[in-house]
Amino acid sequence: MIRSLEGKEPEIPDSAFVSEMAYVVGDVTLSEKSSLWPFVCIRGDIGPTTVGERSNVQDHTMLHEAEIGDDVTLGHNVTVDQSKVEDSCLIGIGSCVLQGAVVGEGSIVAAGAVVREGQEIPPGSLAYGVPAETRELNEAQRQQIPLYAQSYVENRKRWKEAGDYDSRDR
């Protein structure tokens, strides 16, 4: 569902994919070739939420007053609340990025990690644990990040080409 709130309507380019099972409300801006998968909730009710170019927001993820950079992968069941994820990051399944936090460019937040309120993850870091600790990424980890983002650009294209959802029983 895509809906306006108090005169603010989501901005969604034609090249973006938004699942019919996603909920997008208010001051939300999606960028070119971005994708929102089933059961995503993006609220722009208090402040703006943006999703950068070629970024993907996977199933059951919640964004609230968040800034998501370009080429970002947000795994399943992620929460990003009033915080920023810079370009070329991978945010792992079930992780949380809490209010005022910043995940620096080219970083990975491991599955299940919690980035504390106001915490700054340095660029090129792996954040892991509860609460998140950091270390520098190794080369193999750096090379993974663009592969995930690109795979979802391709998946977005495949789903868009499949056409609109057909709710008829078959």
Fold of 2-161: UDP N-Acetylglucosamine Acyltransferase; domain 1 (2.160.10)
Q: What are the tokens at 92?
A: 């792992």
Distance CA(40)–CA(3), nearest Å, equals 14
Phi, psi at 50, each rounded to 5°: -125, 145
Distance of CA 54 to the CA centre of its chain: 10
Q: For residue 162, what pLDDT is reported?
A: 87
Which residues have a Cβ under 8 Å from the Cβ of 96 and sit 6 or more positions away? 78, 79, 80, 81, 113, 114, 115
Q: For the chain, what are the domain ranges? A: 2-161
Q: For residue 28, what pLDDT is reported?
A: 98
Q: One digit per residue, pLDDT tens: the chain, 170 residues?
A: 999 999 999 999 999 999 999 999 999 999 999 999 999 999 999 999 999 999 999 999 999 999 999 999 999 999 999 999 999 999 999 999 999 999 999 999 999 999 999 999 999 999 999 999 999 999 999 999 999 999 999 999 999 888 776 555 44
Q: What are the tokens at 3?
A: 């809906």
pTM of the model: 0.94
The residues facing 109 across adjacent strands are: 91, 127
Q: For residue 117, what pLDDT is reported?
A: 98
